[in-house]
Structure 1
Amino acid sequence: MARYRTATALLLCAALPLAGCGGAQPPGEPRVPSAAPPSASGSAAEAVAVPGEPRDVATGLDVPWSVAPLPDGSALVSERGSARVLLVEPSGSVSEAGTVEGVRPEGEGGLLGLAVPADFADGDHVYAYHTAAEDNRIVRMPYSDGTLGEQEELVTGIPRGANHNGGRLAFGPDGLLYAGTGDAGDRALAQDTGSLGGKILRMTPEGEPAPGNPFDTLVYSYGHRNVQGLAFDPEGRLYGIEFGQDAYDEVNLIEPGGNYGWPEVEGAGGGGDFVDPLLTWTTDEASPSGAAYAGGSLWVAALRGERLWRVPVSGGEAGAPEALLTGEYGRLRAVAAVDGGAALWVTTSNRDGRGEPAGDDDRVLEIPLTE
């Protein structure tokens, strides 16, 4: 029997990014695409890659939340509760690079996202997002010879809560740092452009608002419930992956200054002032966390859905998503493209209090991609 078990998702919205779907979207009514999705062969620039057999890279980890690949083929991996940053080698060797100071794990909070710039070299900074005693923060630390140096705070005052802390970090092709945040359980924050909660933030590597940001602040887009996935395609488009409440999780194509509707809208159908998602899943199919682009597709890790979603994307449109690894490894948390996009590293999250861990959980899996 093939290891991969494939299922068809409810493709609720796969429209042009600015057109939206129009009309209300009541729970339980799947939405038919209003534009033809990309073909199975993907765009002319890049064919859709085929995933191979997963292998364990590292096991016995404690809620690995984020993976930041390094140029030598290794990666830095954050552990949510321990606040440790681990150096994981492709051979499976695991060592501790350091511990992020001031982390206060609670509920969904702790040491969350990691990121390094595309031109990272030994001695450059590693960036981390973490939950502190009173807020969420973005910090950076120099990294050299497998060891983290002194910590520097860049952004403070991101609302924190037991849930909805966001936490994903990603460097864009513009060299700027992007961060996904959550509403921290206070819905009104998402629509308040003066708050850092329920937003995607865009900043310089020093933590200052990026030139050209729509509100002359760190805020790049708003109206988000809980952004835990950020990924860029080869044309520089930014996709934000967002937890829904009871009905729909979302994949959004992010526009500067865009209002993505929460809490007024969950899923598509806002129209007017709100940007509709490219596609949605029901929350039991996904509860999506990390995301990466590789081989013509977005790859999205699902926690409650316990699967890896492959979403073909081309020209800012999304094709029909495909479910892989359904139920085989439990809750999936992070996805990162490694080896120039020739493989994915995916982490499990079965020790986060909501899963059923096996004896060797949590783990980092490697999935090769071939065209």
Structure 2
Amino acid sequence: MDTTRTTGAGTRAPARARRSRRTCSAIGLAAVAALGLTACSDDRAATGPDDSAGQRSTASPPADLAAGQLAPDGRTTDVVSGLEAPWSVVPVGDDGDAFISERDSARVLELAADGSTREVGTVEGVRHGGEGGLLGLALHDDDLFVYSTADDGNRIERYDLTGDTGSYRLGEATTVIDGLPANTFHDGGRIAFGPDGMLYASVGDAGQRSEAQDRDSLAGKILRLTPDGEVPDANPFAGSPVWSLGHRNVQGMGWAEDGTMFAAEFGENRWDELNVIEPGENHGWPEVEGTGGEDRGFVDPVQQWSTDEASPSGLTVIGDTVFVANLKGESVRAVPVSDPSSSTVYFQGEHGRIRTVLPGPDDTLWFVTNNTDGRGDPRDGDDRILSVPLTTAR
């Protein structure tokens, strides 16, 4: 799972020990030498789809799929492999180009449509540790926004991008907001621009549970800002960037075509959540986990899952379907926008931990594995971005 659960009153359950990177055996090195390749090093480069046999799987939609809902339908293929703890992926245009953040190295990579990668730059001052590091990315007006952990707290910066496809570089950085609550766990970290052109950011409770209920604290919140970091006039609390509160650790946000905002949230020991977000609403943490808070003035999730089957991270909405990446659940979940209380699970256990989902080119879904972040079981070629065709039920 991605975020440390707790057992009992204030006792943290031990996270899985960080795994050592695999090393090549003598036989493996001989085979690599014979092929004239370089691999199995700590500094290995990401490789395109032709350079790895990949971890193939096939998905098919259920027979009772609701009309209009999208579903994976076909064989997965590798878009790129050999990534190190990837966290966020944002498309650049419609042809398969994208930017990738690597949590621990603080590198931003440019992914080309042919599957090759190159370094765009390294975000300065990133403090790596636990769940912290270089996290969310978002593009807006040719600027790249990045969410990262620094010595004095979490922050969002805006980078001028220089160059063009195949030659992008990180230019000058401007701080949008800093001093956000930070810890080695519960750092939130997802940023996205909504249909209103505003910047939304998820901030975890950073281990300060009670502050999720404090409107004067930014811990355990979803924030809404202008691209320059100002507080929009239409925010629910005058002068405050807080858009919603009572969150533990939101890591997925997205909007349906009708403007409905969805967010995926890590619970503690019992329930992970899918929430519909409205301005000013309180989602209950830490007073309530999962459903059961409406009588106390809190907003219940539209769907909940046991923590063992979910640990939801990235989220995207394509057409009438919400797709959610699951870390401990090792799956991609599809939820109808029209009936968000139901869902269908795909790829369970087939690719390990899934961190991020996003629309791919040509009616595909991309999803990103996260097996090299110290809590997964890396497989040959991990981590990777995979692509699968999408079909629409009729």
Smaller-chain TM-score range? 0.7 to 0.9
1:346-365 alignment runs, 5 A limit:
346-365=367-386
**2:25 — aligned with what?**
none
Contact 1:181 1:200 in 2 (8 A): yes
Question: Within the alignment, does 1:126 sit opposite 2:150 as a pair?
Answer: no
Is 1:366–2:387 an aligned residue pair? Answer: yes
1:108 maps to 131
Of 189-198 and 46-55, more deviation after overlay is shown by 46-55
Q: After TM superposition, give the deviation of residue 41 of structure 1 in Å.
A: 2.8
Other-structure match for 2:66: 41
Which position in structure 2 is the counterpart of 1:136? 154
How many residues in Structure 1 have an aligned counterpart in Structure 2? 329
Where does 1:1-371 land on structure 2 (aligned, <5 Å)? 3-4=58-59, 40-42=65-67, 46-73=68-95, 74-117=97-140, 120=141, 124-144=142-162, 145=164, 146-216=168-238, 217-271=240-294, 272-314=296-338, 317-339=339-361, 342-371=363-392
Structure 2 distance, partners of 1:293, 1:135, is: 30
- C-alpha distance in 2, partners of 1:254/1:202? 12
1:319: how far off? 4.4
For 1:197 and 1:54, how far apart are their aligned partners in 2? 38
The 1:307/1:49 distance shift into structure 2, 3 A limit, reads closer
TM superposition shift of 1:81? 0.2
Is the Cα–Cα contact under 8 Å of residues 78 and 113 in structure 1 kept in the other structure? Answer: yes
- Contact between 1:313 and 1:319, CA under 8 Å: does it hold in 2? no
In the superposition, the TM-score normalised over structure 1's length comes to 0.85
For residues 2 and 204 of structure 1, what CA distance do their matches in structure 2 show? 41
Deviations 1:147-184 (A, max 9, x none): 11111111011100010000001111101110111000
Rounded Cα–Cα distance in structure 1 between residues aligned with 2:258 and 2:119: 35
Aligned AA (1:265): V
Match of 2:23 in 1: none
Provide Cα deviations, 1:175-196, integer angstroms capped at 9, x if missing partner: 1110111000110110011111
Secondary structure class of the residue paired with 2:70: coil
- State how far apart, in whole Å, the 2-side matches of 1:254 and 1:103 are: 30
Distance 1:336 1:270 in 2: 31
Q: TM-score, normalised by structure 2?
A: 0.80
Question: 1:6 touches 1:326 (CA, 8 Å); kept in 2?
Answer: no
Counterpart code for 2:132: G
8 A Cα contact 2:133 2:149, kept in partner: yes
The CA distance in 1 between the partners of 2:126 and 2:60, in whole Å, is 38
Farther-moved stretch of structure 1 (161-170 vs 287-296): 287-296
How far the C-alpha of 1:47 sits from its partner, in A, is 4.1
Alignment RMSD, CA only?
1.8
Give the Å deviation of 1:295: 3.6
Q: Which amino acid in the other structure matches residue 66 of structure 2?
A: S
Report the CA distance between 1:2 and its aligned residue: 7.5
Q: 1:136–1:160: 8 Å Cα contact kept in structure 2?
A: yes
Contact 1:49–1:295 (CA under 8 A) maintained in structure 2? no
Larger-Rg structure: 2
Secondary structure at the residue paired with 2:75?
Answer: coil
SS in 2 for 1:189: helix
Give SS of 2:300's match. coil
Deviation of the 1:71 alpha carbon: 1.0
Q: In structure 2, what is the equivalent of residue 14 of structure 1?
A: none
Q: Which runs of 5+ in 2 are unaligned?
A: 1-55
Q: Which has the higher contact order (CA 8 A, sep 6+)?
A: 1
Q: Which deviations, in whole Å up to 9, do the C-alpha atoms of 1:253-309 show, x marking residues without a partner?
A: 001000000000000000141000000000010100000011421110000111111
* Cα deviation code 1:315-337 (max 9, x no counterpart): xx414211111111100001111
Q: 1:319 to 1:90 in 2, by over 3 A?
A: farther
Number of the residue aligned with 2:48:
none
